[in-house]
A and B are shown apart, each in its own frame.
Chain A
């Protein structure tokens, strides 16, 4: 195969326009494989390992460590030895010329923007990406999160499916008056969202508390759920780190909040200053403090998870998979043990609670594989 493949600056989330290639893990001439961590990339929001989108020999590196380039800029070229250096050079020249044109043309263009929809008197913000014909995927964040938590997932999933990431009540850009704050109440809101968007059935992907919401819908409303992918979900055991939940509510200063957010991930350096500042900005919005406390008191009353659906998991009528990082400090991965054989369980040893960010490529693949089965 004498094909030339490209590695370009990825787009992690709507706001990302450029990224800094902090360091390469591989050198020119190395053989890379798809999914291999080949570089560290930092954006103003987040720092993460970059996984190779392709396999082959890394023939050319175009961006050196420390350089900041726009999304889509050529980072490297992969091709086997049958392609000559001259061919690669002319390919690169061609790419760069076209990219410069594209960049100029897209300067005024806007990407998808979040929208809002009214659900039972509440304003629910969501982001739709993709318009695939098949069953849509609905992404539901966890406690204190918002739709941006799926920034590494939604674009990849949107290549095959229509995807909707939503903000639960009290979160992100949705109404801060949460109404019924327990998981059943939140599930009602998600059902209302499906109705409002005319979605009969969806593949649900839920993280943490959103995983509990997805699990609740899978058990109580199987007619609306095509499959459920539960990422470190609530609802499978009593344990929850109240150190995290209360710390998240109480920390109003960057210095206090940073170590709390670092509990979410296996590698604390993933949490950037801007990520901390974004959470502080969310927490400053009027009504958020009350909403967070109300949800805490309903979902984690007395320092334990109020909802347990473990016993109903064996009889659930829709496919369910559970994905967990064993270094999860918020909801322990031991909740994934001893589940019925019908539930597919995947664990990762080098990841924490934000499994969909820390192991984005693997989680995306697992979601797509699961969703393709219907």
Chain B
């Protein structure tokens, strides 16, 4: 099977779905770059080149460069979705979502509910999240937990190129609004991705490692950290199950509870700030539903409750590290160095 990058996987999903369904349009800031102006067309392909080539292939009617007005073009995407198109909007950094909260939280998420199930809103908002890019506090947040909080939104967090293609295709075909989170440190990550199209159903966690001693539940980029830690610890005789929930809304509570109960020792890894994040959410779930199966207190590995620092040295310390995950696993298993 062909190796492709996370960036290629996303681009391929967009391109193949746009070929399949003419109602799919993409829009965002510089997703073509130079569109409609004199000079070079398709100059950018988005800030990190994900949509490069799509303008040339699908033309100006389906690849729309928008003004730097998130409230405007996200509102336009939501409206277009409610009236028959399937827009995929790119909102550069999730940190900027704040300026279009009303369009997302009050409009997109609520249409189906407010109109008695008669309206559907098949919009996808692709966005970059996460630290590690030296982009400081206004361009490095996670915030997927904020969207998970809102009923009516679906939230996907692909952890590798295979997941990115399959989850994005599912997001595009889904009739509900989906916020699709791409970690900016992962665009060059490579993995095996089928050339054919496939959809990964939402709400089905992936168990990426199976072990007996501890269960690590990790989100997005952190899944890869957890896998690496699990592989390292297995050489020391500590075997871990690693769970990638894939989507935080809907959340595969069944797999989380099952795998937590199997080992009784749980570590939850979440790159978001520690208050009201996915780690607290999942920990509460396990405590309510599987408390009697726990053999040790749950450990959460998260970023601190502080803005993402610009200083490279501090940012590295800020992000949940493999060392911290390893220490947490050793702690819950009682098998320290």
Interface pair A252/B201, CB less than 8 Å apart: yes
Q: Does A197 contact B (CB under 8 A)?
A: no
Name the CB-closest residue of B to A284: B198
Q: Does B197 contact A (CB under 8 A)?
A: yes
Interface centre among B162, B166, B199, B207 (most CB of A within 10 A): B207
CA distance A358 to B29 in the complex (A): 56
Interface pair B166/A284, CB less than 8 Å apart: yes
Given contacts A252-B201, A255-B258, A286-B199, is CB(A281)–CB(B194) below 8 Å?
Answer: yes
Name the CB-closest residue of B to A253: B204
CA distance A253 to B206 in the complex (A): 9
Interface pair A273/B207, CB less than 8 Å apart: yes
Q: Does B61 contact A (CB under 8 A)?
A: no
Name the CB-closest residue of B to A252: B201
Which A279-321 residues have a C-beta within 8 angstroms of B?
Answer: 281, 284-287
Which B188-223 residues have a C-beta within 8 angstroms of A?
Answer: 194, 196-201, 204, 206-207, 210
Which B79-103 residues have a C-beta within 8 angstroms of A?
Answer: none
Task: Select A284's contact among B200, B207, B210, beta carbons within 8 Å.
Answer: B200
Interface pair B258/A285, CB less than 8 Å apart: no
CA distance A252 to B205 in the complex (A): 11
Interface residues on A, range: 10 to 19
Q: Does A254 contact B (CB under 8 A)?
A: yes
Interface pair A254/B207, CB less than 8 Å apart: yes
Name the CB-closest residue of A to B16: A286
Name the CB-closest residue of A to B201: A252
Question: In the complex, which residues of chain B have a beta carbon less than 8 angstroms from the beta carbon of A254?
Answer: 206-207
Question: In the complex, which residues of chain A have a beta carbon less than 8 angstroms from the beta carbon of B210?
Answer: 273
Interface pair B166/A252, CB less than 8 Å apart: no
CA distance A176 to B166 in the complex (A): 17
Which A155-194 residues have a C-beta within 8 angstroms of B?
Answer: 176
CA distance A176 to B198 in the complex (A): 12
B14 CB to nearest chain A CB (Å): 15
Q: Bits for B102-144, please: 1 = Cβ < 8 Å to A, else 0.
A: 0000000000000000000000000000000000000000000
User: 15 new A-B pairs (CB below 8 Å) besides A281-B194, A284-B166, A286-B199?
Assistant: A252-B204, A255-B255, A255-B258, A273-B207, A273-B210, A281-B198, A284-B198, A284-B200, A285-B194, A285-B196, A285-B198, A286-B196, A286-B197, A286-B198, A287-B196
